[in-house]
Amino acid sequence: MAAADRVAPDVGALLVPTPERWLDAASARWQEVLLDHAYCEKKAASTALALIFAYPECERQCLALARLAREELRHFEQVTKLMARVGVPFRRLQPGRYAAGLRAALATHEPRRRLDLLLAGAIIEARSCERFARLATRLPVPLGDFYADLERAEARHAGLYVELARAAASAAQLDDWQARLAELLQVEAELISSDDPQLRFHSGPPPLDEALLTRATGAKPRASQRR
């Protein structure tokens, strides 16, 4: 079963799998992907906290997101420790286009704003799950094992966001939430499948000429680090 299909019970099927060009680039330039992954974990925690502050009256949602934020921060700690172990220094990194592109499609007025934020969270977590699964068998030890473990966590997070979105839609009598999810999945598919000048954990594939150069130079990790 394709990795994109395995998250279907949580977020509806992602419309496109991660392109092979991205997987090739990420496998060769895994240091860059690992660094951006650390930023993604921080952003995931801050997103959960932002939702807590934005909707303090939603007690059940706030408690669930508080637990999620703690887990995301633990993942950030794990990633930074792993970076030190494999010799990847921490540095400032310009954000990619993915999250901003998805958020640009979200509603600006309530109650749809809340629904869209939760649906976007589900989609991002589902894509993370899919990419961890695809990378786990390609990356050197200990990254591959670490990403295999994180795949399961991201599947849970995607399911939580969908559950919260369903509850928000019910409370606001928004019966079309599944149709809205389908619309946002289409936006996400376009971001994932179109060429992207930056290599990030959630980026699209690199331009073809850059991908060919990466494949030709074969920037592989040292043999002692591989499975």
- For the segment 65-110, what is each residue's pLDDT rounded down to a tens digit? 999 999 999 999 999 999 999 999 999 999 999 999 999 999 999 9
Domain presence at residue 118: yes
Q: 178-196: buried (b, 16+ CB within 10 Å) or exposed (e) per residue?
A: eebbeebbebbbebbbeeb
DSSP letter at 207 equals: P
The predicted structure's pLDDT at residue 9:
39
In this structure, what is the dihedral angle of CA atoms 97, 18, 187, 31, given to the nearest 10 degrees? -10
The predicted structure's pLDDT at residue 226:
35
What DSSP element (H or E) covers 163? Answer: helix 143-171
Domain presence at residue 144: yes
The predicted structure's pLDDT at residue 208:
82
Give the CA count within 13 Å in the CB-facing half-sphere of 190: 8
Q: Which residues of the chain have pLDDT under 70?
A: 1-12, 210-227
Domain presence at residue 139: yes
CA neighbor of 74 nearest in space, from 63, 82, 86 = 82
The predicted structure's pLDDT at residue 171:
96
The predicted structure's pLDDT at residue 48:
98
Domain presence at residue 224: no
The predicted structure's pLDDT at residue 105:
98
pTM score of the predicted model: 0.88
Q: What is the CATH number of the domain that holds 24?
A: 1.20.1260.10
Domain presence at residue 200: yes
The predicted structure's pLDDT at residue 215:
55
CA neighbor of 42 nearest in space, from 15, 79, 16 = 79
Count how many domains the chain has. 1
Provide the domain limits for residue 183: 18-83+96-215
Q: Position 171: which residue type?
A: A
